[in-house]
Amino acid sequence: MNGSPANECRERHDRGTRMLAQVDGPAGLAVVEQLAQSFPGFARLLVEFPFGDIYARPALGLRERELATVAALCTLGHALPQLRVHVHAALHVGCTPAEIVEVVMQMAVYAGFPAALNGLSVVREVFAASGIALPLPGDEAPSTAA
């Protein structure tokens, strides 16, 4: 950091913008630009805190962060638009369709079947828009035969 609060704020915003572009590509930047037209302060916070501060931390890669984000948004149950954005982002950073489906299915254990069903509905929408055919190869129910 260059020391002055103004420089630190600019560096934080620039770092956040770079991370947002890596995670969401041009779509994420467009969302922030649109938000900034009505709520510039909130748009700044959206770039600086999650992307400039949290996503930029080195301990996790973007794939792991997006899988964690998909799981968290799925469990909330009221953040389906954001879940849609982050399923796209997970694909954008290299998560496989199978990984995304498995993470959402896992949420049935911790957040309940309604949360997982809603999450899988979003996954189906995003995959259809991305040209990913369902069911995925190898997605069969485990055998219950002994």
Burial class (CB in 10 A: 0-12, 13-18, 19+), 51: buried
Share of the chain above pLDDT 90, in %: 85
pLDDT in the model for residue 40: 96
Query: Is the Cβ–Cβ distance between 119 and 83 less than 8 Å?
Result: yes
Burial class (CB in 10 A: 0-12, 13-18, 19+), 62: middle
Q: Check pLDDT > 80 for residue 146.
A: no
pLDDT in the model for residue 145: 64
pTM, entire model: 0.90
pLDDT in the model for residue 6: 86
- pLDDT, one tens digit per residue, over 72-110 is 999 999 999 999 999 999 999 999 999 999 999 999 999
d(CA 82, CA 24): 12
Residue written as tokens 């620039």? 14
Q: At what angle do helices 113-130 and 97-111 cross, to 10 degrees?
A: 160
| Type and span of the H or E element at 139 | none
pLDDT in the model for residue 141: 77
- pLDDT, one tens digit per residue, over 4-61 is 888 888 999 999 999 999 999 998 999 999 999 999 999 999 999 999 999 999 999 9
Q: Check pLDDT > 80 for residue 69.
A: yes
Q: Which residues have C-beta within 8 Å of that of residue 15, sequence separation ≥ 6?
A: 51, 52, 56
User: Comparing C-alpha atoms, which of 64, 88, 79, 144 is closest to residue 111?
Assistant: 79
